[in-house]
Copies of this chain bind each other. A is one copy, B any other.
Amino acid sequence: MKLRAVFRPKTLCVIGVSQYNPLSPGTVIYQKNLHEMEVEVFGVNPRGGKIDDREIYKSVSDVPKDIDLAVICIHAEAVNGVMEECGEVGVKGVVVVSGGFAEIGGEGVERQNQLVKIARKYDMAVIGPNCVGVYSPPYVDTFFLPSERLVTPPPGNVAVISQSGGVLVDQFFSKYTERKIGVSVAVSIGNKAVVDENVLLDYFKNDPKTKLITLYIEGFREKEGALFLRKAAECFEKKPVLVFRAGKSDYGRRATVSHTGSVMTATNVASAAFRQWGVIEAESEYEIITFSKVLSFKLPSIKNGDVAILTISGGHGVLCADLCAQYGLRLVEFTEEEQEEMRRLLNPSAAPIASLKNPIDLTGSLMDNDVEKIADYLMKNEKVEALILLMLPYPPTISMQLGRRTANIVRKYRKPVVAYVPWLPKYSMIVEGFELNGVPVAHTVEEAVQMIKALKLKGEAEMRINRTLSYERFSS
């Protein structure tokens, strides 16, 4: 399939523009690509006319150039006729925005089967139906939502595949932007009649811009799930595959049927199977964001989850200790001797009152270089696999250099470090100091712990995937 035409089209034809309604999906897509993206755009409507003095063509065959990608936003009943026409003029890829297919049952199912036949006949890569399609900057953007209503995540290395357009633009785009997670390409696959997760995994596996593939999945069709595991395993050797499933409860399952017409949900592809094949699974809308963030950083994975906590606030230390227990991480125990070694590194105000068990609580009497020295000590300590820094910069002795200085020190070692810093504009210098130097910053204590969990899941996935693949190779 010509997926390159979908993600990097030179020409785009929007079928279903309106010269009278600037809010119609077709017109929104037409305008945004014309003014915001690099692709060359043509509008089609059987009644012709003009939009801002630009000609509207009466059919696809009237468009004066070869078309890489067509976007169809017309009533469901008319879609398959237009699909045929696209096939005949040699369109390579199609995004079908229109709803009214398998997700409504009955005639919709038949309509979708017909659509698949036409796609196969002309070998067209079809995204949808019932989707918002493709966001592939700077080339093309088929989302029918005006850009000024959306939040555009920064350019980056995460590819997003979503069965829901709403979840894509909100849970991923808005929340990713809030957390500064960069996106390479995003696809809403809707009913995934032709192009599904598996086709896309094959494509993104070799996409050099993409370093992490994240998916929002409501359900798999028969056989699709088993194939997904194999495709994901193949990807994992190059880049992690991260999944968030919805529709796991009875209520959720019922809701998916009327949403994307998924006839079989992921219950038959249990989390155990995901784990076996190296897929990293996020369990909540929070985890999918946090996991995306930490996996988009170049941090080493960990095996056992032996963690040290370095904090400025005793209460945060207690909260974090509870969360480590809840997330199956272990707190390293330091001997009296090790505690004394650390105490000797501290400034004279903090030394007598700091608590050097784990969590290590430097208290509000600390200064920047107390954090630097203890962090360095912990990196050298062989018992410590990963470090969580709870850096509340409220005491006046902490400087805005805390992030950069500490990050530069810990990055000398091959151990993951994550930080929690209150995500306030006035502390952005500390946050950026950490992040630009390779230490991801969480918005909450729980996010920091989730980040370490993700690195442990990645470590487990690396072990399992090798076992699974060598078994596969051995048996074949």
Contacts and interface: CB of A to CB of B under 8 A. Distances in A.
Interface string A247-290: 11111101110111000000000000000000000001110000
A100 B354 CA distance: 10
Contacts of A424: 151, 174
A352 interface: yes
Contacts of A325: 249-252
A446 interface: yes
Contacts of A260: 314
| Residue picked from A100, A144, A171, most chain B C-beta under 10 Å | A171
Contacts of A445: 285
Contacts of A249: 321-322, 324-326
Interface in A363-399: 363-364, 392-397
Interface stretch (A116-124, A159-167, A404-412): A159-167
A255 B314 contact: yes
Contacts of A145: 364, 394-396
Given A174-B422, A396-B146, A259 B353 contact: no
A251 B316 contact: no
Given A23-B397, A363-B99, A392-B170, A285 B446 contact: yes
A95 to B, nearest CB: 15
Contacts of A23: 396-397
A286 B449 CA distance: 14
A422 B315 contact: no
Given A249-B326, A322-B246, A166 B316 contact: yes
A396 B28 contact: yes
Interface string A203-237: 00000000000001010000000000000000000
Contacts of A169: 392, 394
Contacts of A446: 284-286
Nearest to A27: B396
Contacts of A28: 396
B251 A324 contact: yes
A252 B394 contact: no
A294 B144 CA distance: 34
Given A246-B315, A259-B314, A424-B174, A251 B322 contact: yes
Contacts of A251: 321-322, 324-325, 331
A319 interface: yes
A197 interface: no
Number of copies: 2
A126 interface: no
A285 B170 contact: no
A417 B249 CA distance: 23
A357 interface: yes
Contacts of A99: 353, 363
A318 interface: yes
Contacts of A318: 164, 218, 246-247, 252, 255-256, 259
A359 interface: yes
Given A248-B322, A322-B251, A446-B284, A314 B174 contact: no
19 contacts: A23-B397, A148-B426, A149-B395, A164-B315, A166-B316, A169-B394, A171-B316, A174-B424, A216-B315, A247-B322, A249-B325, A252-B325, A255-B359, A258-B314, A258-B361, A259-B314, A259-B315, A260-B314, A285-B445
Given A145-B364, A251-B331, 9 more contacts: A28-B396, A100-B352, A150-B394, A164-B313, A166-B313, A166-B394, A246-B318, A252-B321, A255-B314
